[in-house]
């Protein structure tokens, strides 16, 4: 519900305090010890975006040039005075992205000013209060002396996300929380478009795959998922729906929708924001704006198959004749046992209207399109008999997986190995992601997935390597206690050898994507135990501890802190690092140090760290769950954190409340590597003992599904992987 607000704040007159709210200040009236600050009457807005701050923060200001779409206005960034030098990057980025949004939406920013503030301890990463956006310090402040390339990208992305909300969410608000994706899906998608516009050399449209699409597909392929549009009635359900489905799947479906509607998408966005400004809308309202663009397909029917059904399809491709590929679709499950579940809650019977895109080896530059509608049982694609393979779902714009017959996979892998550049960066990342997801789900031979990794010797780009490095590390965890582990480590280290030598430990400031590649490769190399990587981390760690002022490059700090501590960390090293951590004032550096402290292999030190973290003078409330999850990622720390959480659950609930979404999400994070029936029983007993889950109900379901999947994966795949590794000797 929307209202106008007339806010008056009373603040101390002395000590440099000032007051901020959504609107511009009209006047301040000093009344001795206190001063009253009056703000202009707001536009009609929802209560959840009202905001006020009384602080002694300092600020910097820039002017927004609207190019005639509304009035020019000031944008300011506030932070604690000693950190004012860290706001420049966010301010420059915010100006450029705001001007891009005004140009793209063709709808004026409706307030007379726009402020952003870095809050020292803030529960959310950021919050889109209209005209006064609030952030954690790590999400707004950037200092090249402390901030890594990833930190820099995160600042740009979070700023772009919150500024997109000034239109999607604030100007036009969903009618009720079941349509939350209209806020968060659009903001998530627009953040990539916005940052790509300002920093095109970062390759953000390709990075969408690894930071949005792949992660939500992993979640959405389990029975723990839910539809984009879901009935929510209680505060816990509202909190819970702020999840990867509303954000990342929402963004992915919007990305797919834009691809099939082209330039008409932008026109529909403008029309939607114009018609519903200062009002509330439902999903159907946006769809009707698209229908007014006279599209050549039923956009409402198309969108219903994606927003009203959980999950997504796998398109299976078989060559039936030299000139024909036959396509069928079925719902994709990560755990084959889920196929036995009976689903009768969808009017579409878990089929989707899929916008297919494809090319072939004879012409990889021409993208063909056709529909695979939800009511079609098969689709046939006619081709030249000379072609060897077909690549479906170009740049993985569609929210579906593709499984080919084995011989087609072999043809694709052969071509990929010979000439990787035939496939775009996004397509190479897509092939890697799909082939392992299908193999993990027992829908494809694991030999084929492992065969594809051989091409990596010729891979030099960040996004495909991010997919590969992430999978290499997850396989390490899965195989850790199997007979195949030693052979796997030897193979994985050999795969990394060339790219590891290529990226080196020397950081080149101007190359954003190469810097991201370096961190991904070095992290994987140290995780997989490449001797040179571990030795280098330990050497740099020792040098840094001897002279703490002489820090490694910000990009290398997490690697040096973590793997240095892991390799040589003793009591004296840990105590010294804790001392440095406690003195550190920079928020992003503090997070890096906290991560390093969690790597020590001494159990009682990890337990003492958990005890320290309970005190907010050591670990800020906002970082508490991150701290526990870091410790749980350490194999020595996993059982310690799991026992602590079970023994102290009531205290955690008393401190944070069951409506705290990060409390619920901690459980799947801690238990994600469990792979035995014993651990599954422990989890079930814990959930039975504390049946009230609050905003963590879906997270509990997800945690159980993940462990069931891990158990199944080991039973089905460990011997297959061992056999393949033996064949490579």
Q: Which two tokens stand for residue 349?
A: 């019977």
Strands 52-55 and 18-21: antiparallel
CA distance 377 to 382: 17
Tokens 């099939």 map to which residue?
Answer: 260
Asked if residues 335 and 296 have their Cβ atoms less than 8 Å apart, the reply is: no
Distance, in Å, from the CA atom of 373 to the CA atom of 327, rounded to the nearest integer, reads: 12
Neighbour order of strands in the sheet with 73-79: 58-64, 73-79, 113-119, 132-136, 126-127
Contact by Cβ (8 Å): 507, 515: yes
Element (H, E) at 589: helix 587-597
Beta strands at 34-39 and 8-12: parallel, antiparallel or unpaired: antiparallel
Identify the DSSP state of 42: P
Report whether 591 contacts 540 (CB < 8 A).
Answer: no
Q: Which residues contact 172 (CB under 8 A, 6 or more apart)?
A: 182, 272, 273, 276, 277, 279, 280, 281
Determine which one of 137, 162, 258, 536 is catalytic: 162
Query: b/e string for 80-93 if b means 16 or more Cβ within 10 A?
Result: beebbebbebbbeb
Question: Helix %, strand %, coil % for the chain, to 5?
Answer: 55, 15, 30
Q: How far apart are CA 288 and CA 678, in angstroms?
A: 52
Residue 115 · residue 75 · CB < 8 Å: yes
Q: How many CB atoms are located within 10 Å of the residue 144 CB?
A: 13
Q: Among 557, 571, 640, which Cα is nearest to 600's?
A: 571
Place of tokens 């509990």: 700
Active site residue 705: no
Supply the angle between the helices 181-198 and 149-164 in degrees, to the nearest 10.
130
Phi, psi of 714 (to 5 degrees): -60, -45
Q: Which residues are catalytic?
A: 162
């Amino acid at each position: 519900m929307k209202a106008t607000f007339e806010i008056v704040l009373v603040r101390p007159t002395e000590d440099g305090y000032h007051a901020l709210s959504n609107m511009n200040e009209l006047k301040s009236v000093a009344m001795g010890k206190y001063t009253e600050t009056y703000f202009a009457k707001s536009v009609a807005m929802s209560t959840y975006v009202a905001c006020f701050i009384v602080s002694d923060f300092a600020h910097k200001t820039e002017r927004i040039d609207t190019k005639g779409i509304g009035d020019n206005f000031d944008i300011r960034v506030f932070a604690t005075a000693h950190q004012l030098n860290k706001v420049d990057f966010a301010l420059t980025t915010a100006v450029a992205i705001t001007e891009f949004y005004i140009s793209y939406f063709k709808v004026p920013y409706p307030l007379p000013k726009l402020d952003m503030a870095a809050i020292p301890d803030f529960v959310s990463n950021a919050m889109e209060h209209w005209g006064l956006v609030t952030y954690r310090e790590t999400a707004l402040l950037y200092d090249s002396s402390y901030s890594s390339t990833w930190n820099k990208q995160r600042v740009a992305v979070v700023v772009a996300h919150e500024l997109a909300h000034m239109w999607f969410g604030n100007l036009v608000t969903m009618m009720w929380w079941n349509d939350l994706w209209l806020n968060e899906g659009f903001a998530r998608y627009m953040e990539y478009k916005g940052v790509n516009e300002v920093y095109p050399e970062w390759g953000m449209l390709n990075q969408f795959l690894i930071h949005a699409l792949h992660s939500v597909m992993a979640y959405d392929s389990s029975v723990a998922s839910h539809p984009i549009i879901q009935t929510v009635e209680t505060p816990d359900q509202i909190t819970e729906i702020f999840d990867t489905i509303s954000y990342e799947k929402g963004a992915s479906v919007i990305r797919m929708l834009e691809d099939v509607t082209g330039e008409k998408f932008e026109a529909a966005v403008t029309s939607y924001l114009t018609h519903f400004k200062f009002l509330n809308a439902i999903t159907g309202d946006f769809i009707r704006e698209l229908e007014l663009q006279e599209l050549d397909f039923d956009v409402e029917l198309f969108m219903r198959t994606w927003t009203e059904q959980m999950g997504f399809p796998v398109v299976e491709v078989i060559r039936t004749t030299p000139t024909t590929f036959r396509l069928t679709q079925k719902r994709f499950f990560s755990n084959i046992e889920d196929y036995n579940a009976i689903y009768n809650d969808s009017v579409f019977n878990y089929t989707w209207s899929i916008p297919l895109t494809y090319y072939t080896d004879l012409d990889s530059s021409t993208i063909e399109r056709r529909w695979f509608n939800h009511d079609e049982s098969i689709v046939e694609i006619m081709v030249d008999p000379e072609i060897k393979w077909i690549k479906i779902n170009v740049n993985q714009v569609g929210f579906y997986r593709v499984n080919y017959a084995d011989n087609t996979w072999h043809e694709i892998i052969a071509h990929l190995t010979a000439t990787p550049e035939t496939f775009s960066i996004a397509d190479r990342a897509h092939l890697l992601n799909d082939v392992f997801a299908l193999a993990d789900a027992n829908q494809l031979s694991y030999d084929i997935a492992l065969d594809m990794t051989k091409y990596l010797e010729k891979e030099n780009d960040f996004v495909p390597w991010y997919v590969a490095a992430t999978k290499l590390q997850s396989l390490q965890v899965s195989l850790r206690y199997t007979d195949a582990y030693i052979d796997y480590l030897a193979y994985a280290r050999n795969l990394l050898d060339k790219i590891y030598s290529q990226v080196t430990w020397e950081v080149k400031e101007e190359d954003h994507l190469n810097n991201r590649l370096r961190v991904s490769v070095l992290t994987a190399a140290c995780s997989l135990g490449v001797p040179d990587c571990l030795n280098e981390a330990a050497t740099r760690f020792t040098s840094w501890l001897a002279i703490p002022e002489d820090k490694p490059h910000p990009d290398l700090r997490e690697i040096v802190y973590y793997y240095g501590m892991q390799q040589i960390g003793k009591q004296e090293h840990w105590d010294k690092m804790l001392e440095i951590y406690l003195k550190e004032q920079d928020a992003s550096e503090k997070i890096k140090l906290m991560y390093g402290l969690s790597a020590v292999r001494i159990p009682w030190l990890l337990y003492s760290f958990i005890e320290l973290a309970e005190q907010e003078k050591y670990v800020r409330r906002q970082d508490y769950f991150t701290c526990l999850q870091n410790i749980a990622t350490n194999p020595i720390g996993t059982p310690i954190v799991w026992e602590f959480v079970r023994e102290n659950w009531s205290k955690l609930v008393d401190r944070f409340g069951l409506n705290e979404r990060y409390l619920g999400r901690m459980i799947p994070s801690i238990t994600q590597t469990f792979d035995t029936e014993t651990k599954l029983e422990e989890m079930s007993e814990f959930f039975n003992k504390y049946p009230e889950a609050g905003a963590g109900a879906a997270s509990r379901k997800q945690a159980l599904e993940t462990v069931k999947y891990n158990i199944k994966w080991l039973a089905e795949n460990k011997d297959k992987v061992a056999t393949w590794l033996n064949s490579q000797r």
